[in-house]
Amino acid sequence: MLLFKQFTFDSAHFLPNVPLGHKCKEMHGHTYHLKVWLEGDLHPELGWVMDFAELKAVVKPIVERLDHKCLNNITGLENPTCERIAVYIWDNIKPHLPLLVKVELHETPTSGVIYHG
């Protein structure tokens, strides 16, 4: 069974490696929408894959590390593309969530990435 939990955070960034004149070269911000997906079997007694509260307890500190920050100032996110942010999130939560199967990150309502690790 697949389950997911959604999170939202606001961050600023710029993309240092794009050509001069590219709009993302300048500092700007996004309201990111994150979905963390887990896959596992239903617990026979509890009837869930994982308690949503436990899932939130793992992911929330990572989201708080990114929320209302300039992402370029975070080690590992010096070039904070949506793709690299998704990998960063995966790398920071996978050790604590072995059932993690994908991270879905939207930087706008119409643009985002899905990372399967």
Catalytic residue among 24, 28, 54, 64: 24
Long-range contacts, stretch 101-106, CB < 8 angstroms, 24+ apart:
101/2, 101/37, 101/38, 101/39, 102/37, 103/34, 103/35, 103/36, 103/37, 104/4, 104/34, 104/35, 104/36, 104/37, 105/32, 105/33, 105/34, 105/35, 106/32, 106/33, 106/34
**96 is an active site residue:** no
Residue 107 among the catalytic residues: yes
Q: Which of 13, 30, 106, 107 is catalytic?
A: 107
Spot the catalytic one: 28, 43, 68, 116: 68
Asked if 116 is an active-site residue, the reply is no
Active site residue ranges? 24, 68, 107
